Amino acid sequence: MASPEAARALEDLATAVGESQADRAVEAAVRALRAKADPLELVRSAALAAASRFDPALGLPPHGLLALTCASNLTAVLEPRSRPLPILQAIVLAAAEEKAAKAAGAPTVVRGEVSHLGRSFLFAARAGDRVEAEAIFLGILDERKERRLAGDMLFRAASEDMGDGGNKLIVAVKLWQLARTLGFQEGRRILRPAVQYLVSGARDAGPYRTLMSVLGKEWVDLDALAAGGRPLDDAGRAKVSKLPTVPTAEACVASMLGLLREGYAAASLAEGLILEAARRSLAAEGYDLEVAHGLIYAHAARHALTFTRTNERLYALFQAALRLRSPEPIVSLPAIAAVQGEGDELCAIAGDLEARSPKETAARVASYLSRRYSPTRLLELLAHYASRDSSLVNRGHNLILADVCSTEFAATKAPEVAMVLAKMVAASSPDWTAYEAWAPTLGV
Which residue range forms the structural domain that includes residue 176?
114-200
Statement to judge: residues 152 and 256 lie in one domain: no
**Mean pLDDT, to the nearest integer, of 267-283?**
97
- State yes or no: pLDDT of 1 exceeds 80: no
The per-residue pLDDT for 433 is 94
Statement to judge: residues 233 and 196 lie in one domain: no
Is 20 inside a domain boundary?
A: no
Is 242 inside a domain boundary?
A: yes
Is 156 inside a domain boundary?
A: yes
Q: Which amino acid, residue 263?
A: G
Is 369 inside a domain boundary?
A: yes
Mean pLDDT (the chain) is 94
Statement to judge: residues 191 and 215 lie in one domain: no
- How far is 51 from 88, CA to CA, in rounded Å? 17
Q: Are the C-beta atoms of residues 208 and 160 closer than 8 Å to each other? A: yes
Statement to judge: residues 249 and 157 lie in one domain: no
Is 190 inside a domain boundary?
A: yes
Measured CA to CA in angstroms, residue 247 lies from 73, 218, 250, 291, 378 at distances of 38, 19, 9, 18, 38
Statement to judge: residues 166 and 239 lie in one domain: no
The per-residue pLDDT for 143 is 80
Q: Could you report the per-residue pLDDT of 122-150, keeping only the tens digit for each?
A: 999 999 999 999 999 999 998 888 889 99
- State yes or no: pLDDT of 443 exceeds 80: no
**Mean pLDDT, to the nearest integer, of 352-366?**
97
- State yes or no: pLDDT of 300 exceeds 90: yes
Is 226 inside a domain boundary?
A: yes
Is 251 inside a domain boundary?
A: yes
Statement to judge: residues 394 and 417 lie in one domain: yes
Q: Are the C-beta atoms of residues 352 and 358 closer than 8 Å to each other? A: no
Statement to judge: residues 223 and 317 lie in one domain: yes
The per-residue pLDDT for 227 is 84
Alpha helix stretches (DSSP H) within 308-341 = 314-323
Residues in the chain: 444
- Structural domains counted in the chain: 3
Q: Which helix (H) or strand (E) holds 346?
A: helix 342-354
Residues in contact with 33: Cβ distance below 8 Å, sequence separation at least 6, in sequence order: 39, 42, 84, 441, 442
Residue that finishes a domain, picked among 267, 292, 323? 323
Statement to judge: residues 125 and 173 lie in one domain: yes
Is 67 inside a domain boundary?
A: no
Q: Are the C-beta atoms of residues 239 and 251 closer than 8 Å to each other? A: no
The per-residue pLDDT for 114 is 82
- How far is 358 from 101, CA to CA, in rounded Å? 41
Statement to judge: residues 185 and 253 lie in one domain: no
Q: What is the pTM of this model?
A: 0.96
Residue that finishes a domain, picked among 200, 216, 243? 200
Q: Could you report the per-residue pLDDT of 100-111, keeping only the tens digit for each?
A: 988 888 878 888
Residue that finishes a domain, picked among 296, 323, 350? 323
**Mean pLDDT, to the nearest integer, of 245-265?**
96
Statement to judge: residues 259 and 301 lie in one domain: yes
